């Protein structure tokens, strides 16, 4: 699970959620299933949050995986 203590205190809820998404995307290399499990939310909720905060998982995916023919 994601540890809230890893976030910087004093931020708004929106900024905390966005930072949690970014950290999860980085640590899970953009894998949606792993991100949802890490954050303790469903994949549907994860997609909604990614759209809400304009976070692209493609920036975190391994280039070797996305460039395979």
pLDDT in tens, 11-62: 789 999 999 999 999 999 999 999 999 999 999 999 999 999 999 999 899 8
- Is 5 a residue whose pLDDT tops 60? no
Upper half-sphere CA count for residue 9 (Cβ side, 13 Å): 1
pLDDT, position 11: 78
State the DSSP string of 21-59.
Answer: HHHHHHHTTT-HHHHHHHHTS-HHHHHHHHHHTT--GGG
Q: Which residue has the tokens 């995307």?
A: 25
pLDDT, position 62: 80
Separation CA 27–CA 1 (nearest Å): 12
pLDDT, position 14: 93
Q: Which residue has the tokens 């692209």?
A: 56
pLDDT, position 20: 95
- Is 69 a residue whose pLDDT tops 70? no
């Amino acid at each position: 699970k994601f540890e809230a203590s890893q976030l910087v205190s004093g931020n708004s809820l929106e900024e905390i959620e966005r930072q949690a998404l970014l950290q999860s995307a980085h640590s899970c290399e953009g894998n949606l299933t792993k991100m949802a499990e890490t954050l303790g939310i469903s994949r549907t909720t994860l997609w909604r949050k990614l759209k809400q905060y304009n976070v692209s998982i493609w920036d975190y995916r391994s280039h070797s995986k996305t460039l395979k023919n």
